């Protein structure tokens, strides 16, 4: 069974779906892997390393995809790319199903079976396939380095002959996977870190990393999957009041607050930015979903009253080596979950398969009620 890895085509995407180490693992499992020439180049993985791991190097995307039963991607396919996926093949990647209705219809028409990495359920059994977490870890780390680079201050406290330098103050909004990694990274650099969230579970996690929890802990804010729910306008107002003082006191604010399937909560108003010291920096990791700061512009850096607001998008692509390594392990784990005796086998009674399959056998499954058991038609 042939597994194809085309080069990513989205501008700025430096990651690759499989790294040589994982190719070796799939080849050992009896799969044939075809990698488009140069697919790993931007992440530092040369064609020769893939060849050594047992992959075939294809001259271009068409050659890599020819005869492929499985196509592995990071980003959802762009227009022309989608039609190049062989009919009846299986595609796995970050497919953004909520924003890809047309694409899913095209998959169904061409009987492509599609799995969205962002829908892997957050259950213990699926942890090794959890690409949202692995990529959020990278993003949280990178956001702190971006912030540290943009302020004109040290992060650590320094006691020197030239006097004592106080440590930088970092505020992290949203203490999920990215936020916790941001806290750990800022602490390692020596900053004083405060963190804010609304899920009660976040408090202990924040404190275990040596930061101070300054959030709200609302029992009703957490859903059964461990994610935050959208809060009422009243709660958002209460949060803003609490945050006004905390934001004004921070040198760097890293914002990561998200609610799955909803626009990012608006936590920092323009007035709050105006209360910050000139030279301070906000790094907004929620920029892709509208931003946690009113002034954020996705993919841009704006300055307001001397404060820099960075709308960081696709932050994981800024650290492509480890981001690709981690993603590659995640996607290979999901693929091997779907393979029995060297062939694909879809068991829709299995929670992982059922939750992340968005198109199968000519049908779009995303958005359909997901029955706990039964035929593909019952999945969703």
In the complex, which residues of this chain contact ligand NAD (CB under 6 A)? 122, 127, 130, 132-133, 136, 173-179, 196-199, 201-202, 226-228, 231, 239, 256-260, 265, 267
Is 130 a known active-site residue?
Answer: yes
Complex with ligand NAD: residue 74 or 132, whichever CB lies closer: 132
What are the helix (H) ranges across 114-176? 131-150
Rounded CA gap, 255 and 258, in Å? 9
Q: Which residues pair with 344 in a beta bridge?
A: 339
Nearer to ligand NAD, 204 or 341 (CB): 204
| Cβ at position 312, least distance to ligand NAD in Å | 14
- 171 and 245 Cβ atoms separated by less than 8 Å: no
Residue closer to ligand NAD (CB basis): 35 or 259:
259
Q: Would you tell me how many other CB atoms lie within 10 Å of the CB of residue 114?
A: 30
Whole-number minimum distance, CB 71 to ligand NAD, in Å? 26
| 127 labelled catalytic | yes
CB of 28 to ligand NAD, least distance (A): 27
Catalytic residue among 130, 197, 251, 284, which?
130
Farthest-apart Cα atoms in the chain, separation: 73
Instruction: State the nearest-atom distance from the C-beta of 345 to ligand NAD, in Å.
Output: 24
Is 103:85 a contact under the CB 8 Å cutoff? Answer: no
CB of 131 to ligand NAD, least distance (A): 11
Q: Exactly one of 78, 96, 127, 208 is catalytic; which is it?
A: 127
Q: How many CB atoms lie within 10 A of CB 336?
A: 15
Active-site annotation holds for 324: no
Active site residue 133: yes
The answer to whether 377 touches 363, Cβ cutoff 8 Å, is yes
CB 21 within 8 A of CB 55: no
Residue nearest to ligand NAD (CB): 176
Cβ closest to ligand NAD, residue 93 vs residue 265: 265
C-beta of residue 185 within 8 angstroms of C-beta of residue 141: yes
Q: Which one, 132 or 364, has the nearer CB to ligand NAD?
A: 132
Q: Quick one: how far is CA 366 from the chain centroid? A: 20
Catalytic residues: 122, 127, 130, 133, 227
């Amino acid at each position: 069974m042939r597994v194809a890895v085309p080069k990513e085509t989205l501008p700025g995407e430096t990651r690759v779906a499989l790294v040589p180490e994982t190719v070796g693992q799939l080849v050992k499992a009896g799969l044939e892997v075809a990698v488009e020439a140069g697919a790993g180049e931007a992440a530092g993985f040369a064609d020769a390393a893939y060849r050594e791991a047992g992959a075939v190097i294809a001259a271009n995307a068409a050659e890599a995809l020819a005869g492929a039963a499985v196509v592995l991607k990071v980003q959802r396919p762009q227009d022309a790319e989608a039609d190049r996926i062989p009919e009846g093949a299986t595609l796995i990647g970050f497919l953004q199903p909520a924003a890809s209705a047309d694409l899913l219809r095209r998959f169904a028409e061409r009987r492509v079976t599609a799995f969205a990495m962002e829908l892997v359920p957050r259950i213990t059994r699926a942890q090794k396939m959890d690409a949202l977490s692995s990529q959020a870890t990278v993003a949280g780390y990178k956001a702190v380095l971006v912030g540290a680079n943009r302020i004109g201050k040290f992060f650590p406290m320094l006691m020197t002959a030239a006097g004592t330098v106080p440590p930088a103050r970092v505020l992290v909004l949203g203490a999920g996977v990215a936020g916790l990694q941001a806290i750990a990274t800022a602490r390692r650099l020596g900053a004083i870190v405060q963190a804010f969230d609304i899920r009660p579970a976040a408090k202990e996690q924040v404190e275990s990393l040596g930061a101070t929890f300054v959030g709200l802990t609302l029992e009703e804010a957490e859903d059964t999957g461990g994610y935050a729910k959208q809060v009422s306008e009243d709660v958002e107002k209460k949060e803003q009041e609490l945050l006004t003082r905390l934001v004004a006191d921070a040198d760097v604010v890293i914002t990561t607050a998200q609610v799955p399937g909803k626009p990012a909560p608006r936590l920092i108003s323009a007035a709050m930015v105006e209360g910050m010291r000139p030279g301070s920096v906000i790094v907004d990791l929620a920029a892709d979903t509208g931003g946690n700061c009113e002034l954020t512009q996705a993919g841009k850096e704006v300055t307001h009253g001397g404060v820099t607001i960075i709308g960081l998008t696709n932050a994981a692509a800024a650290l492509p080596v480890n981001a690709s390594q981690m993603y590659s392990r995640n996607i290979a784990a999901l693929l091997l979950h779907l393979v029995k005796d060297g062939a694909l086998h879809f068991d829709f009674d299995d929670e992982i398969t059922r939750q992340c399959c968005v198109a199968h056998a000519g049908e779009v499954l995303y958005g359909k009620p997901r029955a706990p058991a039964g035929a593909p038609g019952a999945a969703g």
